[in-house]
A = this chain, B = another copy of it.
């Protein structure tokens, strides 16, 4: 079947455990996946590395990428640009790697509009109470920050139906396995295997 990579976009509530989930997935299947790295105009924080957390670029460079249609999607938050460079994603997919994009909902929907074959995954804890527990349990956030994250979750939950699949992150390992299966079976989609189908049709006719 198709050797070409799948583009999977992962979104979900802050506190749903997306980060850990994706780290585990990539560790377990190193050669299969590539994590897309975003470009941003914000300043690097301590410990962040160019090309690992983000590609740190200037406002001028970012705006040139916009003009050259070099971004799959981009958005502006609190005065900084964030976007997904197209070339890396397409290169990895051509090389047969499945590319995972962790972006927020508006970006995810834009990607789906532009590339309808994109797999949209929404990660959620098993319940709202559990989301609250996890946010509180971190112990690093003020109650005000927790309130604002929960408020944001209410807004984000309105878009869950627009995703293809919902992943409930209850047991981490089970969730990693489901995510892997979900992405891998997409290689069997009829729509992603038009060339293969044409080939067997041709072969059958010439028997």
- A: residues with CB less than 8 A from B are 1, 122, 124, 127-129, 131-132, 150, 153-154, 157-158, 160-168, 178, 181-182, 184-185, 188-191, 193-194, 196-197, 200-201, 203-207
Contacts and interface: CB of A to CB of B under 8 A. Distances in A.
Given A164-B190, A165-B190, A158 B201 contact: yes
Contacts of A207: 128-129, 132, 150
Copies in the complex: 2
A85 to B, nearest CB: 28
Nearest to A157: B201
Given A127-B200, A128-B204, A150-B204, A185 B193 contact: no
Contacts of A167: 188
A59 B199 CA distance: 42
B189 A164 contact: yes
Contact of A185 (B163, B165, B189, B200): B165
A162 B190 contact: yes
